[in-house]
Amino acid sequence: MAVKLVTTVQELHSEGARLLAGKRGTSQGLVPTMGALHEGHAALARAAVEQNDVVVATIFVNPLQFGDAVDLDRYPRTLEADLALLDGEGVDLVFAPSVDEVYPGGEPLVRVTSGRLGEKWEGASRPGHFDGALTVVAKLLHYGLPAAGLAAGDGTGGGLPAYRAYFGQKDAQQLALVRRMVADLNFPVEIVGVPTVRAADGLALSSRNRFLSPEEREAALVLSRALRLLEERAHAREPLDLESAQALVESQPLVALDYFDVVDPATLEPLAENCRETPFRGEGLALIAAKVGPVRLIDNTPLSS
- Nearer CB in complex with ligand PAF: 34/45: 34
Core vs surface per residue 179-191: b (16+ CB within 10 A) or e: ebbbeeeebebeb
30 - beta bridge partners? 56, 165
Three-state DSSP class for residue 44: helix
Three-state DSSP class for residue 290: strand
At its nearest, how many Å lie between ligand PAF and the CB of residue 34?
4
**Distance from C-alpha of 69 to C-alpha of 1, rounded to nearest angstrom:** 34
**Distance from C-alpha of 296 to C-alpha of 128, rounded to nearest angstrom:** 17
The residues, ordered by sequence, that sit 6+ positions from 156 with a Cβ below 8 Å of its Cβ are 26
Give how far Cα 118 sits from Cα of 153, 167, 231, 254, 295, Å: 41, 17, 25, 28, 21
At its nearest, how many Å lie between ligand PAF and the CB of residue 132?
8
- List of residues contacting ligand PAF (CB under 6 A): 32-34, 62, 65, 133, 136-137, 171, 174
- Nearer CB in complex with ligand PAF: 64/162: 64
- Nearer CB in complex with ligand PAF: 52/62: 62
- Nearer CB in complex with ligand PAF: 136/162: 136
- 129 a catalytic residue: no
Q: Which of 13, 38, 41, 129 is catalytic?
A: 41
- Nearer CB in complex with ligand PAF: 28/33: 33
At its nearest, how many Å lie between ligand PAF and the CB of residue 231?
24
CA triple 292-295-299, angle to 5 deg = 70
At its nearest, how many Å lie between ligand PAF and the CB of residue 220?
19
At its nearest, how many Å lie between ligand PAF and the CB of residue 279?
35
DSSP 139-182: HHHHHTSPPTT----SSS---PPEEEEEEETTSHHHHHHHHHHH
Q: Which residues are catalytic?
A: 41
